[in-house]
Amino acid sequence: MAGRECYHCKQWIREGEEHDCWTTTEAALTQNLSEDLEDAWERLRETALSFGDQRIYASHKSIMFSRKSCYFFVRPKKSFLEVCVFLGRTLKAPQVRRVERASKSKAVHIIHIRHRDEVEAPITDWLREAYDLSEVLVSKADQARAKSKQKSSRISFR
């Protein structure tokens, strides 16, 4: 049988068959969660929605929360929700499993949530901080682009 193996999901795709393993939904990613994880997920989502205007969408194996850029995302796992929060500083707290540098201005903090009761301060405070920071960083980037455009328009060629 002619076909190929998908690079991402390792599924065998027959020749001519459509395949897009990157397309998923929130429901598909959360359908097999235990009752505790489902409750934690609902509380996490409600908390994020309370911050204000944003876009929530599924991408590959994650559910992304973003304004103009992603400020946190969740990877549902069998026994926990892996919450990845982008902050402008590095946290040292028992809830933070590890921290990785995401860019010059942001670090991603990996947090595991197993129960609804864990979705409270300080985690909710960090999510709010990330939500607010995402707007500040986008504004700074817009200002930098505007300055760059002004400088390039002043340059005259003779």
Map out the domains of the chain as residue ranges: 18-146
Cα→Cα distances 67→41, 72, 74, 152, Å? 20, 10, 15, 29
pLDDT tens for the chain, 158 residues: list them. Answer: 688 887 667 778 888 887 766 667 899 899 999 999 999 999 999 999 999 999 999 988 899 999 988 999 999 999 999 999 999 999 999 999 999 999 888 999 999 999 999 999 999 999 999 999 988 775 555 555 556 666 655 555 55
- 3-class state of residue 60 by DSSP: coil
Of 97, 68, 94, residue with least CA distance to 83: 97
pLDDT of residue 59: 85
- How many Å apart are CA 105 and CA 122, to the nearest integer? 21
Helix (H) or strand (E) holding 37: helix 35-49
pTM score: 0.75
CA distance 80 to 76: 7
pLDDT at residue number 90: 95
Which of 74, 155, 148 has its CA nearest to residue 108? 74
